[in-house]
Amino acid sequence: MVRLYPAVAPYRVKVLESRAALAGLWSGTGDHARALAEVTELEKDPDLIAGACYDLACACSLASAAIAKDPKLSPAERGASADACSARAVALLSRAVAMGYANVGGIKTDADLNAIRGRAEFKKLLRGLEAQKKAGGSPPVQ
């Protein structure tokens, strides 16, 4: 439908959401290079919505775990690349929250985010979300 009606935003958003989910699948199967190329393209898309941004964060988190185990990379490359990818995952998660993503329970339990749970920035973001939830507020919607 998006090919027939490229001006219809909901069609473009559905394609973007599907591609974001696909990036997560590629990361989960170890194809981190392909996944990160897709993330790089999609994170610049003006139609990016909070849920798709969350999926991109998950893709980066999974890619970080895949990079850390990639035997084709040297130990130094694995460490540096996995750390950079983890930082990118947290940044995308923060962006998703700023866009209105507020599923605190999902963030706390989603196995796709396991690779970034130990990061100070992740813990700080989660604490902030929990405090907002407790206070009955919600993150700003952009």
pTM for the full model?
Answer: 0.90
Give 70's Cβ-side CA count (13 Å radius).
24
- Furthest C-alpha separation in the chain: 48
Contact, 132 vs 98, CB < 8 A?
A: no
- Inter-axis angle of helices 75-98 and 120-134, nearest 10: 20
In order along its 142 residues, the chain shows pLDDT tens digits of 656 666 767 888 999 999 999 999 999 999 999 999 999 999 999 999 999 999 999 999 999 999 999 999 999 999 999 999 999 999 999 999 999 998 999 999 999 999 999 999 999 999 999 888 888 765 544 3
